[in-house]
Structure 1
Amino acid sequence: MTTTDTSTTSAPPGPAPYRWRWAALFVILAAEVMDMLDALVTNIAGPTIRAELGGSAAVIQWLGAAYTLAMAVGLITGGRLGDIYGRKRMFLIGAAGFTVGSLLCAVAQNPELLVGARVVQGLFGAVMLPQGLGMIKEMFPPKEMQAAFGLFGPVMGLSSVGGPVLAGWLIEADFFGTGWRMIFLINLPLGAAAVLAGLRFLPESRSPHPLKLDFPGMLLASLAGLLIVFPLVQGREHDWPLWSFLMIAGSVVAFVLFGWFEARKSRAGGDPLVVPSLFRKRAFTGGLVTGIVFFSGMIGFSLVFNLYTQIGLGYSTLTAGLAMAPWSVGMVVGFGLAQPLQKFGRKVLHSGTLVMTLGVLAILVTINLAGIGVSAWQLAPSLLFTGIGMGLLMAPFFAIVLAGVEQHETGSASGTLTAVQQLGSAFGVALLGTVFFGLLGGNVATAADDVAPKLRADLAAVQVTGARQDAIVTALRDCGRDRAVAKDPQQVPASCVRLEQAARAAATSPQSGAAIQKAVMTAGADAGKEGFGIAMKTILWVVAGMLLLTFAVAFLLPKQPLPEDQMPH
Structure 2
Amino acid sequence: MDAVLEHAAEQRTPYRWRWVALFVILTVEVMDLLDALVTNIAGPAIRAELGGSISLIQWLGAAYTLAMAIGLLTGGRLGDIFGRRRLFLIGATGFTLASLGCGLAQTPGQLIAGRAVQGLFGAVMLPQGLGMIKQMFTPAEQAKAFGAFGPVMGLSSVGGPILAGWLVEADFFGSGWRMIFFINLPLGLFAVLGALKFLPEFKSERAPRLDWLGVALAAAGAFLLLFPLVQGRELGWPTWCFVLLAAGLVVFGLFAIYESRRERRGLDPLVTPSLFRKRAFSGGLAVGMVFFAALIGTGLIFTFYLQIGLGYSPLQAGLTTLPQALGTVAGFVAAGSGLSERFGRKLLLTGTGVMMAGTAGFMLTVWLAGSSITPWRLIPALVLIGAGMGLAMAPFFNIVLAGVDTEETGSAAGALTSVQQLGGAFGIAVLGTIFFALLPGQVTSHVDDSSAELRSVLTTAGVPGDQQLETGRGLRACLRDRVAEDDPDVTPPSCQASSPGGPELQAYAGQQVRAGFQDATILTTGVSFLLLALAFGLSFLLPRRARPES
Q: Shift in Å at residue 273 of structure 1?
A: 0.7
- Secondary structure of the 2:203 match is coil
CA gap of 1:56–1:14, structure 2 versus 1, over 3 A, is closer
- Secondary structure of the 1:235 match is helix
| 2:328 corresponds to | 331
Q: Does 1:265 align with 2:262?
A: yes
Match of 1:274 among 271, 275, 293: 271
| 2:6 corresponds to | none
| 1:6 corresponds to | none
Deviations 1:371-410 (A, max 9, x none): 0221111111101111111111111111111111111111
Match of 2:516 among 525, 531, 535: 531
What is the letter of the counterpart of residue 430 of structure 1?
Answer: A
Distance 1:240 1:353 in 2: 34
Match of 1:558 among 529, 535, 543: 543
Q: Does 1:141 align with 2:138?
A: yes
Distance 2:39 2:11 in 1: 47
Contact 1:310–1:317 at 8 Å: present in 2 too?
yes
Deviations 1:104-153 (A, max 9, x none): 11111111111011010000000010000111111112332222111111
Q: In percent, how many aligned pairs have the same letter?
A: 57
Match of 1:78 among 75, 79, 94: 75
Question: Which structure has the larger Rg over C-alpha atoms?
Answer: 1
Q: Shift in Å at residue 210 of structure 1?
A: 2.2
Deviations 1:509-541 (A, max 9, x none): xxxxxxx41111101110110000010010111
| 2:438 corresponds to | 439
Distance 2:461 2:165 in 1: 42
Contact 1:451–1:523 at 8 Å: present in 2 too?
no
**Counterparts of 1:73-112 in structure 2 under 5 Å?**
73-112=70-109
Q: Shift in Å at residue 449 of structure 1?
A: 2.3
**Counterparts of 1:68-217 in structure 2 under 5 Å?**
68-217=65-214
* 376-385 or 453-462, larger mean C-alpha shift: 453-462
Q: Shift in Å at residue 14 of structure 1?
A: 6.7
Structure 2: gaps spanning 5 or more residues:
1-9
Distance 2:59 2:428 in 1: 8
Distance 2:11 2:162 in 1: 46
Match of 2:300 among 283, 300, 303: 303
Q: Shift in Å at residue 300 of structure 1?
A: 0.4
| 2:372 corresponds to | 373
Distance 2:229 2:11 in 1: 55
Q: Shift in Å at residue 462 of structure 1?
A: 5.0
**Counterparts of 1:314-353 in structure 2 under 5 Å?**
314-339=311-336, 340-342=338-340, 343-353=342-352
- Secondary structure of the 2:202 match is coil
Contact 2:461–2:502 at 8 Å: present in 1 too?
no
What is the letter of the counterpart of residue 166 of structure 1?
Answer: L
Deviations 1:150-207 (A, max 9, x none): 1111011100111011001100111111111000011111111111111111111121
* 464-473 or 91-100, larger mean C-alpha shift: 464-473
Contact 2:32–2:122 at 8 Å: present in 1 too?
yes
Distance 1:426 1:564 in 2: 32
| 2:5 corresponds to | none
| Coordinate RMSD, CA, aligned | 1.3
Q: Paired residues, what number?
A: 539
Deviations 1:35-62 (A, max 9, x none): 0000011111111111111111111110
Q: Shift in Å at residue 495 of structure 1?
A: 1.5
Distance 2:437 2:549 in 1: 45
Contact 2:85–2:199 at 8 Å: present in 1 too?
yes
Q: Does 1:545 align with 2:543?
A: no
Q: Shift in Å at residue 454 of structure 1?
A: 2.0
What is the letter of the counterpart of residue 262 of structure 2?
Answer: K
Q: Does 1:416 align with 2:415?
A: yes
Structure 1: gaps spanning 5 or more residues:
1-12, 504-515
Q: Shift in Å at residue 480 of structure 1?
A: 1.1
Q: Shift in Å at residue 219 of structure 1?
A: 0.7
**Counterparts of 1:40-55 in structure 2 under 5 Å?**
40-55=37-52
CA gap of 1:441–1:192, structure 2 versus 1, over 3 A, is same
CA gap of 1:469–1:552, structure 2 versus 1, over 3 A, is same
* 551-560 or 14-23, larger mean C-alpha shift: 14-23
Q: Does 1:356 align with 2:355?
A: yes
What is the letter of the counterpart of residue 285 of structure 1?
Answer: S
CA gap of 1:18–1:523, structure 2 versus 1, over 3 A, is same
- Secondary structure of the 1:502 match is coil
Distance 2:251 2:457 in 1: 58
Q: Does 1:64 align with 2:49?
A: no
Q: Shift in Å at residue 345 of structure 1?
A: 1.4
| 1:256 corresponds to | 253
Match of 1:218 among 204, 215, 229: 215
Q: Does 1:519 align with 2:504?
A: yes
Q: Shift in Å at residue 264 of structure 1?
A: 0.8
- Secondary structure of the 1:564 match is coil
What is the letter of the counterpart of residue 455 of structure 1?
Answer: L
Contact 2:457–2:505 at 8 Å: present in 1 too?
no
Match of 1:502 among 499, 504, 514: 499
Distance 1:406 1:333 in 2: 32
What is the letter of the counterpart of residue 341 of structure 1?
Answer: L
